[in-house]
Amino acid sequence: MSAKPSSMSPGLIVLVLALLLGLQPITTDLYLPALPALTDGFGASMSQAQLTLTSLLLAFGLSQLVWGPLSDRFGRRPILLLGTALFVVASIGSTFSPSMEQLIVWRIVQGIAMGAGVMCARAIVRDLYAPTEGARMMSKGLTGLGVIACGSAPLGGLLSQQFGWRVALMALAVFGAITLALLVWRFEETLPQKNPRALEPATLLRTWGRIARHPTFWAFALLATTTYGGLFTFLAASSFVFIKVLGLSKTVYGLLMFTMSLSYIVGTLACRRLLPRFGVRRTVAIAGFFTLAGGTLMGVLGLLGAQSLWAIILPFYLFMLGHGVHQPCGQSGAVSPFPQAAGAASALSGFLMMVAAFFMGGWLGKSLAATGDGAGTVLPLTNGVWFWSVLVAATAWTLVQRHGEGAPLRHFAASPPRGTTPVARQSRFHGVCWKLANSSPIRLNPLVPTHERTTIAGQLPRHRRPNGQW
């Protein structure tokens, strides 16, 4: 069954993308300032409190592998409505949890629900736009994500300080309810053709296999994964470094996180300017210089013993400028070759990002514990960001340049009804003939003026003879 062409305005689409993509930062950033009070309220250990975050991310990554095929089978709209409603319920459950154990369970459900929104946001871009325009629309949506991230940490700190940590968690339910209302009243289905076989085990395995073998997917998925790895390293370690090592107050730390989001927004705005002029590959390559420069400068200063605020914050501004380009290009580029399997491709890309965050979080936990929760050193943070910046630049300058414009895989289209005659081979022959005729000068009569040459799709160009006949 085919969906009607979407009549949603570009502004509405950007708003939907911003709210769906913003589910991730608001669920983590707004929650972090309430974490100490929450831990004291339950009398729990710090490791249990951290589990409420890591379990959320793990559920978020794994759930996308399920939401992706479901959205290819039933469409984006029903999956978004189900996932967003589940997010509201999980947020309410988290607010009134009587114990840390129940809170962890509700956070897992919250991560599962969050996966539906973020995964569908990436798939929606592929449903509606070609790769280059899709990257521009994704950058607009991620600009909205940056705005949401700017206000999440300060709002979470204010709510938890004035009204308690439960009110901060209730704010997540309010955000989810607003998003759900917009989806119910204004969002239309964007999937052009539902795939009735998307959930069949054989079809699912073939789909995963074809996605995993496509070099364009890996080029952009690794770009998004590596740049997110650098951001996650900073987010996971910065509170220890800035507060315990550098002695900053929580208020100043919150303002620094605000400036990080502003730098990211500037990067997304630059992405929208650069894409029409340079294209995806050159834009990604240009941003790679900022990422590598920021990560290398931070790493070298850390090794030289420069343990100051500006030795960390200024280099990371450069990294975030590059991140504002690499994240929209990576997320949209990973799904661009799969018009009929955008959900599955988006799910696999998101899963890779969360796997990188999960293992990086484990490494940071051990590194910070080995140095007394980060006391006295900034190296776990600076070395981690440096490591990821090298991987980002290597991916941007090699894999993306080599495989950054892969052709869509048309064999992901739904199978034709039984009894119809396949025409793929005939169409392929006509397409090859047309390409040869238009790419080789010797196959066109040079005496025929260009404006008198006409081409019918799937056929060779025909030339008008001097007598006026074809």
Given a contact cutoff of 8 angstroms between Cβ atoms, the answer to whether 203 and 197 are in contact is: yes
pLDDT at 372: 54
| 203-227: pLDDT as tens digits | 888 888 999 899 999 999 999 999 9
d(CA 334, CA 68): 14
Residue 193 main-chain phi, psi, to 5 deg: -145, 115
| 147-174: pLDDT as tens digits | 888 888 778 777 877 888 889 889 999 9
Given a contact cutoff of 8 angstroms between Cβ atoms, the answer to whether 117 and 87 are in contact is: yes
Per the listing, tokens 């993306």 go with 400
The band of 142, judged by pLDDT with boundaries at 50, 70 and 90, is confident
pLDDT at 61: 85
Highest mean pLDDT pick, 268-282, 353-367, 413-427: 268-282
pLDDT at 13: 93
Per the listing, tokens 């076989």 go with 197
pLDDT at 369: 58
Q: What's the average model confidence in pLDDT over 269-277?
A: 90
pLDDT at 74: 92
User: What are the C-alpha distances in Å from 75 to residues 111, 177, 371?
Assistant: 21, 21, 49
The band of 300, judged by pLDDT with boundaries at 50, 70 and 90, is very high
| 120-139: pLDDT as tens digits | 998 898 888 887 788 788 88
Given a contact cutoff of 8 angstroms between Cβ atoms, the answer to whether 120 and 345 are in contact is: no
Q: How many CB atoms lie within 10 A of CB 420?
A: 8
Per the listing, tokens 């010797």 go with 442
Residue 214 main-chain phi, psi, to 5 deg: -85, 120
pLDDT at 422: 39
Residue 76 main-chain phi, psi, to 5 deg: -75, -40
The C-alpha angle 113, 119, 121, rounded to 5 degrees, equals 110
- Mean pLDDT is lowest, of 284-298, 329-343, 354-368, 383-397, for 354-368
pLDDT reading at 457 higher than 60: no
pLDDT at 47: 66
How far is CA 287 from its chain centroid?
Answer: 17
**Bridge partner list, 454:** 462
| 417-445: pLDDT as tens digits | 344 443 343 334 334 333 433 443 333 33
The band of 470, judged by pLDDT with boundaries at 50, 70 and 90, is very low
The residue extents of the domains of the chain are 10-406, 423-470
Is pLDDT larger for residue 264 or for residue 7? Answer: 264
What does pLDDT average to over the chain?
80
Q: What's the average model confidence in pLDDT over 104-116?
A: 94
d(CA 122, CA 217): 13
Q: What's the average model confidence in pLDDT over 282-305?
A: 95
d(CA 48, CA 429): 62
User: What are the C-alpha distances in Å from 376 to residues 59, 253, 312?
Assistant: 34, 18, 15
What is the third-level CATH fold of 10-406? Answer: Growth Hormone; Chain: A; (1.20.1250)
Contacts for 128 with CB less than 8 Å, ≥ 6 apart:
6, 13, 134, 137, 190
The band of 6, judged by pLDDT with boundaries at 50, 70 and 90, is low
